[in-house]
Amino acid sequence: QVQLVESGGGLVQAGGSLRLSCAASGRTFSSYAMGWFRQAPGKEREFVAAISRSGDSTYYADSVKGRFTISRDNAKNTVYLQMNNLKPEDTAVYYCAATELMLIGVVVTSDPEYRYWGQGTPVTVSS
């Protein structure tokens, strides 16, 4: 089992940047494909970005492509989400998620395929 703790959320003006971190504890971090999701008030949780076990493969939702970057440091058991040029529509609670995979280069974009979730960190972008 792995425990996930997000940090780095907060209030930022439109056009600003934030970097979210997700620290993992428990079993070997490099065994897990990782993802970021978000849930805005009154909306369903949606996929944001995913990264493979090795970090060599990434995938983004169209709404954040070119603005957000997902990365991981397996030595530090941490996955990051660098968010640039933030927009008010990025306002949401951001969750990191993990799922154990055999394949090293695969990314996981589907919510139900993730087994472990953090508690979320709120991001508010003011206009």
The predicted-structure confidence for 12-30, as pLDDT tens digits, reads as follows 999 999 999 999 997 789 9
Cβ(124)–Cβ(14) under 8 Å? Answer: no
DSSP assignment of the chain: -EEEEEE--EEEETT--EEEEEEEEES-GGGEEEEEEEE-TTS--EEEEEE-SSSS-EEE-TTTTTTEEEEEETTTTEEEEEE-S--GGG-EEEEEEEEE-S-SS-----GGG--EE---EEEEEE-
- What does residue 99 show for φ and ψ, rounded to 5 degrees? -145, 135
- pLDDT higher than 90, residue 1: no
Q: What is the pLDDT of residues 35-72, one digit of tens each?
A: 999 999 999 999 999 999 999 999 999 999 999 999 99
pLDDT per residue as tens digits for the range 87-122 = 999 999 999 999 999 998 999 999 999 999 999 999
Task: Report the distance separating Cα 25 and Cα 22, nearest Å.
Answer: 10
